[in-house]
Structure formats: structure tokens, C-alpha cells
Structure 1
Amino acid sequence: MNILLAVDGSEFSTRAVDALLVFAARLREMPQIHVLYVHLPIPIGFATKHVAREIVDAYYHEEGQAVVLPVAERLKQAGLGVQTHVRVGSPGETIAHAAKDLECDAVWMGTHGRGSVTQALLGSVAARVVALAHKPVTLVK
């Protein structure tokens, strides 16, 4: 079983990690966990005027690694197989595409748990993933 665990460094994603650890402990076979952080893109026109593309890419990588590596270490200590991924893009779409690209059987992520009015006005990463993913999505509040 492959599970995509989308994290953003927030307390909500920490709760998703906690819940996934409890879930995985109940399984007969330990799943492979793909820990994903999605970095919002810097407006390229602005960035490339002032900074080389390589520096922008290094920034994305460093910022993402700072989020995924502590999560990966925690999962490894629990005996889970882990791979880390950092991608750049719109979070909802990128998470859904990553789940497909990585052939994941499920997606786990935290949600801020905002009400339907806020979600309707502002949109929601979680709602977008649920709408786009072709596999089950577990949202943890």
C-alpha cells in the first residue's frame, strides 16, 4: 500500500501524521509513505529579474526539505518506509497529481476545518484534493 501524506508544517498536518501513525500500526503490512510538501510558486517574472533560476529552485528545495525531513524521520522511527517529495504549484492540484504520479492508494492530510461559507468563498486545498483525487482522501482535523 502506498499512501501520500501531504504536509505543510502546520499543527493540522502534525495531527494528520499522528493519525496516520495510529492507522499504520493497525495494518498487517506497513505501507510505503510518500511525504509531500507543495511550495506555492514565486511569480517567475519577478524572481528571474532579480534571482537566478537555480537559486529559486534551491530555495524551493530547502524550504520543502525543512518540512518533510522531520516528518519522514518520525515515520521511519515507527518502522514505516518513507520517501520525501517537494513540488511547486497550486497545492490542491499538485497533491492530487502527485497521488496519481506516485501510484498512491490513498491521500492523508490535515485540514484547517473551516466552515462551508469560508470554503465557498476562499476555496480549500482539502476540498480541491477531494474533488480531483481518484483515490480515497482522509482529512484530519
Structure 2
Amino acid sequence: MKLLLAVDGSDCSLRALEHVIGLAAQWRTPPEVHLLHVHPPIPLGRVQVHVGKETLAAHYREEGEAVLAVAQQRLAQAGLAYIPHLHVGLPAEVIAHQAELLAVDQVVIGSHGRGALAGLLLGSVAQKLAHLLKTPLLLVK
């Protein structure tokens, strides 16, 4: 089983992480876990005038690594191997693209993320993924 676990540091994504760990404990063969964090792009506009590309790239990398660190530590404690992925872009589109590129069997995410204006019933990323993905999507509350 090949899983793509997308995390954003929210409580829901941490519950999705714990759910994957619980599922893996029930399987005979541990899953191949691709751990993904997608940093939404900062609108460039006038920001580029004041911030260089290297500084912006460092910002994305530092924040992404901080989000992944919690999940990486927990997966390691559970004895699960993982492959970390950091990307910048629109989260739903990047997750769907990575799911196809990596040929995963399932995508696992929290039902609500850190988005300021998340959907009322489902997070906006979850709603978009439901339409974009060709593979099964597991939403964890």
C-alpha cells in the first residue's frame, strides 16, 4: 500500500497522521508513506521588490520543515518509514498532482486545515481534492 499523507500542522492533519499510524499497525506489510506539506504561495506583487528569491525560498523551506518535523518524529516513533516532500503551490492541485505522479493507492488528509476561510462542512482543500483526485481520498475528522 502506497499512501500520500498531506499535513499542514493543524489538529485535523495530526489526527490524520495518527489514523495512518493506527491503520499501519493493522496491516501485515507497512505502507509506503509519502509525507507531504504544501506551502501556499505568498502573493508576490510588491513583495519581490523587498524580498529576494533566496529569502523567499528559505522561508518556504523553514516553515515546511517545521510542519513536517512533528509528523516525521511521530512516524519514526511508530517505526514507519516515510519519504518527505515539500512543495509550494495551491494545496489541492499540488496534492492531486503528487498523488498521480507518485502513483499512490490512497491520499489521507485532515478534513479541515489551517485555511482561514475553510468550508463550513469540509475544508476547501478537501472539497477541491474530492473533485481532482483519481485515487481514493480518506478524510479524517
Aligned counterpart, 1:68: 68
| Whole-angstrom distance in 1 between the partners of 2:109 and 2:55 | 29
Q: Root-mean-square deviation (CA), in Å?
A: 1.8
| Whole-angstrom distance in 1 between the partners of 2:52 and 2:94 | 24
Unaligned ranges ≥5, structure 2:
114-118
* SS of the residue 2:85 aligns to: strand
- Say how many residue pairs are matched: 136
* SS of the residue 1:3 aligns to: strand
1:118 aligns with one of 117, 120, 136: 120
Taking structure 2 as the reference length, what is the TM-score of the superposition? 0.89
2:139 aligned with 1:139, yes or no?
Answer: yes
Misfit runs of 4+, over 6 Å: none
Name the aligned partner's letter for residue 78 of structure 2: A
Deviations 1:96-125 (A, max 9, x none): 111112221110010139xxx8369xx710
Aligned counterpart, 1:89: 89
Name the aligned partner's letter for residue 118 of structure 1: L
Unaligned ranges ≥5, structure 1:
none
| Whole-angstrom distance in 2 between the partners of 1:119 and 1:14 | 19
Name the aligned partner's letter for residue 15 of structure 1: R
2:56 aligned with 1:56, yes or no?
Answer: yes
Taking structure 1 as the reference length, what is the TM-score of the superposition? 0.89
